[in-house]
Amino acid sequence: MKGILDVENRAASPDQLGGLQRDILDFKKQRNAIILAHNYQLGEIQDVADYVGDSLGLSYQASKTGADVIVFCGVHFMAETAKIINPAKKVVMPDIHAGCSLSDSCDPADLRRYLSERPNTYVVAYINCSAEVKSLSNVICTSGNAVKVVEGAPRDREILFVPDENLGQWVMEKTGRPMKLWKGFCHAHVLFTHESIMRVRRENPSAPVVAHPECVKSVRMLADHICSTEGMVKFTRENEAGSFIIVTEEGMLHRLRKEVPHKKFIPGPTNHCPCNRCEFMKMNTLEKLHACLRDLQPEVDVPEEIRRRALQPIERMLSIGR
Ligand code: 13P
């Protein structure tokens, strides 16, 4: 568990920061706040965060913080998860409209209908879903522990994996467990294609391809290693290669270049662009983070009945670990 639970203050020293960033750190102290940032956030946001990580690492940080305020720099379902775990704390995010295509692809009413027709279903929900979908699920997983979570699912139940079909397929390949798959996808990761990754691989023949499991199968089959964003830091640090092709959202490259500085990171291209950007993640800006810490809003809230039911599958996931 070490490494997941240690808060690493990766904030740059004050003399490396701009005025807005220094104000943010001052506000943070005054408010007794913690800034949690996903690996896809802008570099200038990552540089003032107390912890930068993947969805699982961020959930652990949210579960153990003593701060009064959690400032979540990520997308809405991530901040919502922090609120579910911490009902007494104020959870704010720079832009409350930073959504997620995967989360939007699973309507709770559709899931409720599915479950009423198939009552023996065991729902494994990828954390990229709404609080209401979580409240209808048996266990939550992230890309960092999906294989372990599915391996532990009861053998006498039919598993439904929501909402990412690509991650679900990859987990089925790894575990050999049959699952029904919801038809959702990450609008950014599906932009990587077999052709675009073949091209960058040909141009960089000695660089291992490291891909996120939200990629489609024809891309995953080109990867030397498939893992969560946190797994990418570990893999590239430990692997002997000097350069890597990183097939995920471009924000990841900031963290990799900062923490594995002696190696080279090449962004995975799409058919139309040399890298891949999630516009929802990038709705959070330094200016909005500044305003959010100053005003302590916009605040994330979850209806108590949904929160209570969503907490159980999240706690089940946290007890399983990475
Ligand atoms: P992880 O950082 O947990 O790998 O997830 C990436 C992602 O796509 C979040 O939406």
Q: pLDDT digits over 272-320, tens only? A: 999 999 999 999 999 999 999 999 999 999 999 999 999 999 999 999 9
From edge to edge, which strands make up the β-sheet containing 139-141? Answer: 139-141, 121-126, 158-162, 180-181
* Position in ligand 1 atom list of the atom nearest CA 212: 4
- Do 210 and 244 touch, CB atoms closer than 8 A? yes
Name which residue sits closest to atom 1 of ligand 1, judged by CA: 54
| 229 CB within 6 A, ligand 1 | yes
- Per DSSP, the chain holds a count of helices (H) and strands (E) of 15, 12
Domain-ending residue, one of 242, 267, 292: 267
103, 187, 214, best to mutate for ligand 1 pocket (most atoms within 8 Å of CB): 214
264 closest CA partner among 218, 206, 196, 316: 206
**Torsion sign, CA atoms 101, 234, 4, 283:** negative
Check whether residue 169 and residue 194 sit in a common domain.
no
For 121-132, the pLDDT digits (tens) are 999 999 999 999
Check whether residue 263 and residue 177 sit in a common domain.
no
For 244, the domain range is: 189-267
Question: Distance between CA atoms of 228 and 98, rounded to whole angstroms?
Answer: 21
* Position in ligand 1 atom list of the atom nearest CA 38: 2
- Chain centroid to Cα 115, Å, comes to 26
What confidence tier does 12 reach under pLDDT thresholds 50, 70, 90?
Answer: low
What confidence tier does 13 reach under pLDDT thresholds 50, 70, 90?
Answer: low
Check whether residue 18 and residue 93 sit in a common domain.
yes
CATH code, domain with 143: 3.40.50.10800
From edge to edge, which strands make up the β-sheet containing 90-92? Answer: 51-53, 33-38, 69-73, 90-92
Cα 227 to ligand 1 centroid, rounded to whole Å: 10
| Model-wide pTM > 0.85 | yes
CB atoms within 10 A of CB 188: 24
Question: Distance between CA atoms of 251 and 271, rounded to whole angstroms?
Answer: 19
Give domain status of residue 317, yes or no: no
pLDDT of residue 321: 86
Check whether residue 90 and residue 109 sit in a common domain.
no
Check whether residue 136 and residue 162 sit in a common domain.
yes
78, 104, 128, best to mutate for ligand 1 pocket (most atoms within 8 Å of CB): 128
| 54 CB within 6 A, ligand 1 | yes
Name which residue sits closest to atom 4 of ligand 1, judged by CA: 228
186 closest CA partner among 161, 210, 212, 209: 212
Check whether residue 201 and residue 168 sit in a common domain.
no
Check whether residue 112 and residue 157 sit in a common domain.
yes
| 231 CB within 6 A, ligand 1 | no
From edge to edge, which strands make up the β-sheet containing 243-247? Answer: 225-226, 209-211, 243-247, 264-267
* Position in ligand 1 atom list of the atom nearest CA 229: 4
pLDDT of residue 128: 98
For 174-218, the pLDDT digits (tens) are 999 999 999 999 999 999 999 999 999 999 999 999 999 999 999
| 214 CB within 6 A, ligand 1 | yes
| 4 CB within 6 A, ligand 1 | no
